[in-house]
Copies of this chain bind each other. A is one copy, B any other.
């Protein structure tokens, strides 16, 4: 069993140029719940001028169904974001820190040490309010500005986040450069500093995302991020593909004998809905290729 955290409504839509109406985002989330998704990163509480795709964060949270067992995650970068997330009624917050100094200063406007202090403040208040707190370590597999990132650097930041109150660690291959050997190295480095549940966030930018995801599961990952349709992209590679696709991951896991709680047809339906909304073919392949065994046979 591995848990898939659906990040299409947040990381997927945040990196699409099209602005999707709030009602369509809610319909996408409803379709994902129908497919079995139970943990959904629904939106991001960042400045609307920086990320106009997420400007309707409060409206999305006000409109999503509150079904039993469904938990909504809001991404926040600082206490201002946390204030909004608390008011909007999320169940968990996901706080992004970055493993490289240059990327941290450019993306968050603060040093890594400052980001850890900010995380501690956010984490303390979020936990006091009863919310789950994830620390996502961006650029864990490589940095667009500094290049290689040492697993020991990532592990140091993981330890700092664990000390500062995270109850889950997510290692993110923000720019999609990692391979399975990197996953193994990072699991080993992280296991040396914490026993917190490990979640992984892979992009398929260079076609290594699914291999990385299966390797992470094999090495004890508790959760994997994915976006239905594989929507999204990479801000550092304008023509690149986005997150690994929930349906393609579901297929690979199912045929590997690993349960995820999702139905393939349900995820394909959710992806079709957002594909229609975006007006462009999504990167996911299952919707095009068909399930196996099943609808594939030309004689059926």
Contact = CB atoms under 8 A, between A and B. Distances in A.
A298 B236 CA distance: 7
Contact of A289 (B206, B252, B293, B299): B206
Contacts of A215: 211
Contact of A239 (B176, B179, B240, B288): B288
A286 B239 CA distance: 10
A289 B240 contact: yes
Interface stretch (A10-18, A110-118, A128-136, A141-149): A141-149
A142 B294 CA distance: 11
Contacts of A299: 145
A181 B215 CA distance: 11
Given A255-B181, A256-B179, A293 B210 contact: no
Contacts of A234: 289
Contact of A210 (B144, B145, B210, B236): B210
Given A144-B298, A296-B144, A207 B175 contact: no
Nearest to A203: B289
A91 to B, nearest CB: 30
A236 to B, nearest CB: 6
A183 B35 CA distance: 29
A285 B205 contact: yes
Interface string A177-198: 1111110000000000000000
Given A145-B299, A180-B211, A211-B215, 17 more contacts: A142-B292, A142-B293, A144-B298, A147-B293, A176-B289, A179-B252, A180-B256, A181-B257, A182-B255, A206-B251, A207-B251, A207-B284, A211-B214, A211-B252, A234-B289, A240-B289, A241-B289
11 contacts: A145-B299, A148-B293, A177-B296, A180-B211, A206-B248, A206-B252, A206-B286, A207-B286, A236-B298, A237-B290, A237-B296
5 closest A-B pairs by CB: A211-B211, A147-B293, A207-B248, A177-B292, A239-B288
